[in-house]
Amino acid sequence: MIDHRRLGRELELFHSDPRSGAGLPLWLPAGAAARHAVEEYLRDLERRHGYQHVYSPPLGRRALFEQSGHLGYFADDMFPAMRVSEEDDLVLRPALCPHHALIYLARGRSYRELPLRIAEIGGMYRSERSGVLGGLSRVRAIHLNDAHVFSPLAAVGAEVAAVLALVDEAHAALGVRVSGLRLALRGPGEKYVGSEESWRLGESLLRSALGDRPFVEAPGEAAFYGPKIDIQVADAAGREWTLSTVQLDFDKPERFDLSYVDASGERQRPVMVHRSLVGSMERLFGYLIEAHEGAFPAWYAPLQLRVLPVSASAAVAAQAFAAAAVARGLRADADPEGGSLAARVREAAARKVPYVAVIGDREAASGEVALRLRGGGSLPPMPSAAALDLIADVVAARSHDLSGAPRGGGSLPARDPEDVDGAR
């Protein structure tokens, strides 16, 4: 693997400027295009599996985070409160769950609408020390692929299992290689809340949902409100990071007095399941840049097709082909620059563009195009419309094979989970 910070500069994906501040990266157009494609995929995936999307503000009253427990258990990781009036202090939120609890409370809830799954790619902020910040992997402004499932106790096991299946699907599409799973459990100390019974029940539910998936136990790494499953990946330096997570929470439903009316008309307390399929956009892309060495699968490559006219006389045909690709929803451009064709092909390769179409006078006259594939190789000449069909089909299928062959699972091969036993 190659350090994502270097590739991020070379491919103009993101930029860090001290005037912006440490841990506050700027997403450049190429990186923003890739991120947008991934975010849209995640929203579509969640919609298809019963999630409803919301927006919530990155600020909240200090009292909200006192109620949620974050100020009591997480204060060192939060930015100082901002005084906006004599009665009001606002806090940059360190988590989205308090706002999602308020969304649940927007009206009364019935058992008929549970499990209620709400999702958001939302901003949150951590007051990280400057010494631990680095690239996209550790930042202060975080955009989290977050969701909360408000579930009757009887459905929690099935909901956790469904989350793990969704994680598998998202990882396959993105090309994520999992290094291991960790069952994060309560350890000694005072930082944990809730009853012994709720912790034992939560651990039992997570173990059952894991089934025959291999995992290691991680005592002392549970959230302050409950046990969790963390899904790990490794970066270029071999360090492990938590990318995906699913967490059980019996505490916040109590703190916020969440309830629903069951079939008998009685008020019941739901369980709150916190989950993220791919973690934050920052950490995800830090990983993906390294895992693919900047050569993203075509569906979220910043530029999917570059069209190169051989000569000025072929420029009109090249521009028309690029415009037709854009009209199909592809990210494409035509390179009008001078210089040798070989140099322009090399430049497209350096930019990790999946498809390059070279159009000369013969191709312009015949209406055909031969596609060059990233990494070497090319496809036989085909009508321009067929070439666009092929690229659009690869993108729509989120295939990792640029030739259009059927997808074979998508994810990179997994490492032996024993390789990460005890690592962090």
Residue 21 has pLDDT above 80, yes or no: yes
pLDDT at residue 81, rounded to an integer: 84
| Locus of tokens 């993203």 | 296
Q: Nearest to residue 388, comparing CAs of 418, 361, 355?
A: 355
What is the percentage of the chain residues whose pLDDT exceeds 70? 94
Residues 6+ apart with CB under 8 A from 130: 22, 23
Other Cβ atoms closer than 10 A to 106: 8
pLDDT at residue 410, rounded to an integer: 41
| Cβ atoms of 203 and 227 closer than 8 Å | yes
Q: What class is the 4-291 domain?
A: alpha beta
User: Where are the domains positioned within the chain?
Assistant: 4-291, 298-397
| Locus of tokens 């190169």 | 308
Give me the mean pLDDT over the 411-424 stretch. Answer: 33
Is residue 11 exposed (0-12), middle (13-18) or buried (19+ Cβ within 10 Å)?
buried
**CATH of 298-397 among 3.40.1380.20, 1.10.287.1080, 3.40.50.800, 3.30.70.920:** 3.40.50.800
In this prediction, residue 235 has a pLDDT band, given cuts at 50, 70 and 90, of confident
Give me the mean pLDDT over the 339-362 stretch. Answer: 92
d(CA 356, CA 33): 18
Task: For residue 45, give both structure tokens.
Answer: 């995936």
Give me the mean pLDDT over the 116-145 stretch. Answer: 89
pLDDT at residue 405, rounded to an integer: 62
Identity of the highest mean pLDDT range in 149-163, 306-320, 335-349: 149-163
d(CA 363, CA 360): 5
d(CA 98, CA 70): 9
In this prediction, residue 347 has a pLDDT band, given cuts at 50, 70 and 90, of very high
- In the chain, the N- to C-terminal Cα span, in Å, equals 18
pLDDT at residue 9, rounded to an integer: 94
d(CA 244, CA 412): 16
d(CA 146, CA 355): 33
Other Cβ atoms closer than 10 A to 245: 21
Residue 92 has pLDDT above 80, yes or no: yes
Prediction pTM value:
0.90
pLDDT at residue 1, rounded to an integer: 61
pLDDT at residue 237, rounded to an integer: 79
Residue 418 has pLDDT above 50, yes or no: no
Q: Do domains 4-291 and 298-397 have the same CATH topology?
A: no
Listed range (179-193, 278-292, 321-335) with the worst mean pLDDT? 179-193
SS (H, E, C) the chain: CCCHHHHHHHCCCEECCCCCCCCCCEECHHHHHHHHHHHHHHHHHHHHCCCEECCCCCEEEHHHHHHHCHHHHHHHHCCCCEECCCCCEEEECCCCHHHHHHHHCCCCCEHHHCCEEEEEEEEEECCCCHHHCECCCECCEEEEEEEEEEECHHHHHHHHHHHHHHHHHHHHHHCCCCCEEEEEECCCCCCCCCCHHHHHHHHHHHHHHHCCCCCEEEECCCECCECEEEEEEECCCCCEEEEEEEEEECHHHHHCCCCEECCCCCEECCEEEEEECCCEHHHHHHHHHHHCCCCCCHHHCCCCEEEEECCHHHHHHHHHHHHHHHHCCCCEEECCCCCCHHHHHHHHHHCCCCEEEEECHHHHHHCEEEEEECCCCECCCEEHHHHHHHHHHHHHHCCCCCCCCCCCCCCCCCCCHHHHCCCC
Give me the mean pLDDT over the 360-387 stretch. Answer: 92
> Which residue type sits at 3?
D
pLDDT at residue 138, rounded to an integer: 86
- The pLDDT mean for the chain works out to 90
| pLDDT tens, residue by residue, 173-206 | 999 999 999 999 998 876 788 888 999 999 999 9
In this prediction, residue 393 has a pLDDT band, given cuts at 50, 70 and 90, of very high
In this prediction, residue 8 has a pLDDT band, given cuts at 50, 70 and 90, of very high
